[in-house]
C-alpha cells in the first residue's frame, strides 16, 4: 500500500467536516496530522489506534521532527514489540487542539489569522470523533484495539463508550474515567502560569513571535512533578546539589531537582504551544465519562462486546490504582469482559512510557488473544 | 496439561456455557480448561500480578484483586458459579467471603484442605507442633493459611448460614474417596453450594 498517499509517516489530511463538538460549536475543516505503520489486512481486521497523552504527538515510533528524539513509545510499538507493524496496521494521530499539525489554537481560521482563543473548547470525546473521521478516511471500520496511556487511556475509554461497534478491544493504561478535583487543581496552576505571563496577550501572541515561554515552562514544571513519584525523585536527586559544593544562599538552581525541572520546562517550550496546553488540559478537566452517561459509568458500557484491559502503576499518584479499579467495577457491573492488573514501578505515572517488561507482557498477551 | 485433582473435579461438574468466576484463579489453568472444553464464559480474580499477566495472555478476563476486599465490586447474581479453590483458608473473613460467593453466583464450588485429616491430628498429638503436610507445606509463621478449617467445621458453618450443600467430594492422595469418616480420612474436600 506504499503507493497510497493516505498511508505512511508525516501525513496530514484536511477533512471537510463539519465536526460537531460537545460545546455546541462546530469545526470545519478539520486538519489531522497522523502516521500509519504496517499494512491494513484485506479484511481490515488488524488496525490498532494509539492515542497519545497531553503533550504527546503522532510520532509514536518515528523520530520527533523538532527534537530528533525517537518516537515516544518505541518500547511498545515496533518490530517484535506488542504492537508490531509486521502484524498490525497502526494509526497514531495528533489530537484535536494540539500543535503538531492537527487543528488547534495555532491553526489559521477562515480569516487567515490564527484562531488563538477563538478556537472552540474541545473535549476528549471531540478528539475521539475527529479520530473516527480519520479512520473513515483511511478505510478502517472496526479497530482490533484502541490503546492509550494517561490522556490516551481516556480516549480509549471514550472510544469504547462512543463507538462500541468499532472497538473490539481497549487497552487503558495509567488512566482515569474522570478528572478529580486534585487533577483539575494542578492543571489550573499550569493554566494560570501561562495566562500570568505578560507575553500571553490573551492568547494573541502568534504574530509577535514571542510566545509566553516562561509561563508555559512553569506549567510544565508543575505538571512534571505529578508524573513522578516521591521515591523516584529521591532516588534520582535526593537533596544533592547541582555542580556546587555548598548552598549558594541565593536562588540559583542549587539542587539537582531544581535544575532538572528547569530543564524540563525550558526544553518543553521549544516543542509545544501554550494555547494548546490550555485547550488540552481543559479537555482533560472536563472529562467525566460517568457524567456523559447519566452519572453511572457502567451505563457507558452496557451490552458492550469490547474487551478491556486496564493497567495501573502502584506509585502513580496522578491517576492512582483506585481510579482504574472504579472503572473495572463499572465494567463488571456492565458485564463487560475486563482484565486489570496493578504493576509495580518506582517511576510513578510516567512508568507507562518507560521500560516495563511486565507491561509489555500484559499488553502483548491481551492483544494476541483478541485476534 | 492436566488439572489439579480438585480443579478437575470442579471442571467436570460445571454446566457447559455457564458464566464462571474463579476467585484466586492463579494463572488461569482451570478457567482456560472450562473455556476450551465447555464453552464457559470464564472470568477470574487473582492477587498476584504475574499470575494475572499469565492468565490475560491466555485470553482470559482476569482482574487483580483480593477475595476479602474486591468481591464486593461484582454485581448480584452475575455468575452461574463462583469458584473458590484452596483459597478459603487464606482469607481474613472466610464467612463473609462465602456470603459474597453466593451473592455473586447462583452456586459456588469451594475446595479446601481438611485440617482434621488423621495425619494432621497425629502430627499435633505426637509432636505437639503445627503440622506441615503435603497440602499444608508452610510453617505456622509464614503460612498464608490463616483460617484452618475441617470438613465438619465447614458443614456447621453452612448449616448456620442457611446454605444448601448440593454435593460434596472428598480426596485423599489425589484419589476420590467416599463420604464415610471423611473428616478423618479426607485430605481435601470440594463442596458445591447453592443459595437458598
**Rounded to the nearest 5°, which phi and psi values hold at A351?**
-55, -35
Average pLDDT, chain B: 93
Q: Which of residues 306-365 of A touch B (CB under 8 A)?
A: 307, 309, 325, 328-329, 332-333, 335, 337-344, 358, 361-362, 364-365
pLDDT class of B40 with cuts at 50, 70, 90: very high
The angle subtended at Cα A162 by Cα A157 and Cα A163, nearest 5°, is 100
Domain with CATH 1.10.1740.110 in chain A: 183-281
pTM score, whole prediction: 0.94
Residue B137 pLDDT grade (very low, low, confident, very high; cuts 50, 70, 90): confident
Cβ contacts of A340 on chain B, cutoff 8 Å: 52, 62-65
DSSP state of B164: E
In angstroms, the CA A339 to CA B45 distance is 9
To the query of whether residue A86 is one of the catalytic residues in this protein, the response is no
A368 to chain B, any CB pair closer than 8 A? The answer is yes
Judge: A362–B75 Cβ closer than 8 Å, yes or no. no
Partner residue facing B53 (CB), from A329, A335, A361? A361
- pLDDT tens, position by position, A106-123: 999 999 999 999 999 999
Across the interface, whether the CB atoms of A340 and B65 are under 8 A apart is answered: yes
A209-242 in b/e form (b: 16+ CB < 10 A) is eebbbbbbbbbbbbbbebbbbeebbeeebeeebb
Mean pLDDT of A252-267: 94
Contact A225, A236 (CB under 8 A): no
The region of weakest confidence among A259-273, B72-86, B134-148 is B134-148
Q: What is the pLDDT of residues A312-358, one digit of tens each?
A: 999 999 999 999 999 999 999 999 999 999 999 999 999 999 999 99
Contact between B49 and A343 using a beta-carbon 8 Å cutoff: yes
pLDDT value at residue A2? 52
State how far residue B66 is from chain A, nearest Cα, in angstroms: 12
Architecture of domain B5-194: 3-Layer(aba) Sandwich (3.40)
Residue range A219-249, pLDDT digits in tens:
999 999 999 999 999 999 999 999 999 999 9
Cβ-based contacts of A344 with chain B (< 8 Å):
49
The label of the residue with cell 476479602 reads B68
Strands A337-343 and A307-313 turn out to be parallel
- Identify the helix (H) or strand (E) that includes residue B54: helix B49-57
Query: Bridge partners of A27?
Result: A19
pLDDT digits (tens, 9 = 90+) for B45-87: 999 999 999 999 888 999 999 999 999 989 999 999 999 999 9
Radius of gyration (C-alpha) of chain B in whole angstroms: 16
Mutate to test the interface with A, among B61, B66, B73 (most CBs of A within 10 A): B61
Q: Is A316 a catalytic residue?
A: yes
User: Looking at residues B147-173, what average pLDDT do you find?
Assistant: 95
Task: Output the pLDDT for position B135.
Answer: 79
What mean pLDDT comes out for the span A92-107? 97
CA distance A130 to chain B (A): 30
Q: Does residue A314 have an active-site annotation?
A: no
CATH 3.40.50.1820 in chain A is located at 11-178+291-370
Q: What is the pLDDT of residue B196?
A: 74
pLDDT at B6 > cutoff 50: yes
Say yes or no for a CB contact (<8 Å) between A365 and B61: no
Task: Please give the pLDDT value at position A1.
Answer: 47
- E strand or H helix at A339: strand A337-343
- Does the structure show a pLDDT above 90 at B134? no
Of A59, A62, A349, A350, catalytic? A349
Mean pLDDT in residue range B17-25: 95
Confidence band of A209 (pLDDT split at 50, 70, 90): confident
Average pLDDT for B98-117: 96
Task: Measure B163 CA to nearest chain A CA, in Å.
Answer: 25
- The answer to whether the CB atoms of A364 and B75 lie below 8 A apart is no
When CB atoms are compared, the residue of A333, A339, A361 closest to B75 is A333
Among the listed residues A316, A324, A345, A350, the single catalytic one is: A316
Helix residue ranges per DSSP H, chain A = 124-138, 151-162, 181-196, 213-227, 230-236, 256-269, 274-286, 321-333, 357-370
Report the pLDDT averaged over residues A298-324.
96
pLDDT(B174) > 90: no
Beta strands in chain B (DSSP E): 19-23, 41-46, 61-64, 79-85, 105-113, 164-172, 175-177, 188-194
Contact B60 A342 (CB under 8 A): no
**What DSSP character marks residue B71?**
G
Write the pLDDT tens digit of every residue in A128-143. Answer: 999 999 999 999 999 9
Global ipTM: 0.89
Tell me the chain B residues in contact with residue A334 when contact means C-beta distances shorter than 8 Å: none
Query: Which among B43, B52, B73 is the nearest to A329, CB-wise?
Result: B73
Domain A11-178+291-370, second-level architecture: 3-Layer(aba) Sandwich (3.40)
Give the least confident one: A11-15, A100-104, B172-176.
B172-176
Catalytic annotation, pick one of A150, A175, A229, A276 = A150
CATH of the domain spanning A183-281, picked from 2.40.50.140, 3.30.530.20, 1.10.10.10, 1.10.1740.110 = 1.10.1740.110
By a Cβ cutoff of 8 Å, what residues of chain B touch chain A? 43, 49-50, 52-65, 70, 73-75, 78
Amino acid at each position: 500500500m506504499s503507493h497510497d498517499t493516505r498511508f505512511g509517516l508525516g501525513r496530514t489530511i484536511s477533512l471537510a467536516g463539519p465536526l460537531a463538538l460537545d460545546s455546541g460549536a462546530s469545526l470545519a475543516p478539520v486538519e489531522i496530522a497522523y502516521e500509519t505503520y504496517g499494512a491494513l489486512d484485506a479484511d481490515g481486521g488488524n488496525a490498532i489506534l494509539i492515542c497519545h497523552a497531553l503533550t504527546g504527538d503522532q510520532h509514536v515510533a518515528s523520530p520527533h521532527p523538532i527534537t530528533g528524539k525517537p518516537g515516544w513509545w518505541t518500547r511498545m510499538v515496533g518490530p517484535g514489540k506488542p504492537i508490531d507493524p509486521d502484524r498490525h496496521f497502526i494509526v497514531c494521530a495528533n489530537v484535536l487542539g494540539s500543535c503538531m499539525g492537527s487543528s488547534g489554537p495555532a491553526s489559521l481560521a477562515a480569516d487567515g489569522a490564527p484562531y488563538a482563543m477563538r478556537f472552540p473548547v474541545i473535549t476528549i470525546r471531540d478528539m475521539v470523533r475527529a479520530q473516527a473521521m480519520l479512520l473513515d478516511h483511511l478505510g478502517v471500520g472496526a479497530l482490533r484495539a484502541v490503546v492509550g496511556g494517561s490522556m490516551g487511556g481516556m480516549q480509549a475509554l471514550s472510544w469504547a463508550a462512543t463507538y462500541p461497534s468499532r472497538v473490539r478491544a481497549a487497552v487503558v493504561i495509567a488512566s482515569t474515567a474522570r478528572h478529580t478535583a486534585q487533577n483539575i487543581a494542578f492543571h489550573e496552576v499550569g493554566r494560570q502560569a501561562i495566562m500570568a505571563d505578560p507575553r500571553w496577550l490573551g492568547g494573541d501572541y502568534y504574530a509577535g513571535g514571542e510566545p509566553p515561554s516562561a509561563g508555559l515552562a512553569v506549567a510544565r514544571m508543575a505538571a512534571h512533578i505529578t508524573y513522578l513519584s516521591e521515591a523516584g525523585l529521591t532516588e534520582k536527586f535526593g537533596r544533592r546539589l547541582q555542580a556546587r559544593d555548598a548552598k549558594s544562599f541565593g536562588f540559583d538552581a542549587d539542587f539537582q531537582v531544581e535544575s532538572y525541572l528547569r530543564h524540563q520546562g525550558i526544553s518543553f517550550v521549544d516543542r509545544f504551544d501554550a494555547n494548546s496546553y490550555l485547550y488540552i488540559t481543559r479537555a482533560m478537566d472536563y472529562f467525566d465519562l460517568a457524567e456523559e452517561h447519566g452519572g453511572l459509568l457502567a451505563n457507558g458500557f452496557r451490552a458492550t462486546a469490547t474487551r478491556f484491559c486496564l493497567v495501573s502503576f502502584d506509585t502513580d499518584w496522578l491517576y492512582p490504582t483506585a481510579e482504574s479499579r472504579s472503572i473495572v467495577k463499572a465494567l463488571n457491573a456492565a458485564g463487560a469482559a475486563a482484565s486489570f492488573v496493578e504493576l509495580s514501578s518506582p517511576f510513578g505515572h510516567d512508568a507507562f512510557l518507560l521500560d516495563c517488561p511486565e507491561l509489555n507482557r500484559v499488553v502483548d498477551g491481551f492483544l494476541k488473544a483478541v485476534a | 496439561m492436566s488439572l489439579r485433582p480438585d480443579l478437575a473435579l470442579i471442571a467436570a461438574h460445571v454446566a457447559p456455557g455457564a458464566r464462571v468466576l474463579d476467585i484466586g484463579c492463579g494463572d488461569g489453568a482451570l478457567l482456560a480448561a472450562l473455556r476450551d472444553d465447555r464453552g464457559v464464559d470464564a472470568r477470574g480474580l487473582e492477587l498476584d500480578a504475574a499470575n494475572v499477566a499469565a492468565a490475560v495472555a491466555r485470553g482470559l478476563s482476569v482482574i487483580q484483586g483480593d477475595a476479602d476486599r474486591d468481591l464486593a465490586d461484582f454485581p448480584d447474581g452475575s455468575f452461574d458459579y463462583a469458584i473458590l479453590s484452596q483459597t478459603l483458608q487464606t482469607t481474613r473473613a472466610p464467612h463473609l467471603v462465602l456470603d459474597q460467593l453466593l451473592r455473586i453466583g447462583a452456586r459456588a464450588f469451594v475446595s479446601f484442605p481438611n485440617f482434621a485429616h488423621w495425619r494432621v491430628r497425629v502430627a499435633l498429638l505426637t509432636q505437639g507442633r503445627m503440622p506441615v503436610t503435603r497440602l499444608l507445606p508452610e510453617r505456622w509463621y509464614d503460612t498464608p493459611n490463616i483460617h484452618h478449617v475441617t470438613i465438619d467445621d465447614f458443614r456447621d458453618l453452612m448449616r448456620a448460614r442457611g446454605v444448601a450443600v448440593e454435593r460434596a467430594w472428598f480426596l485423599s492422595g489425589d484419589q476420590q474417596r467416599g463420604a464415610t469418616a471423611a473428616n478423618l480420612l479426607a485430605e481435601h474436600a470440594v463442596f458445591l453450594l447453592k443459595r437458598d
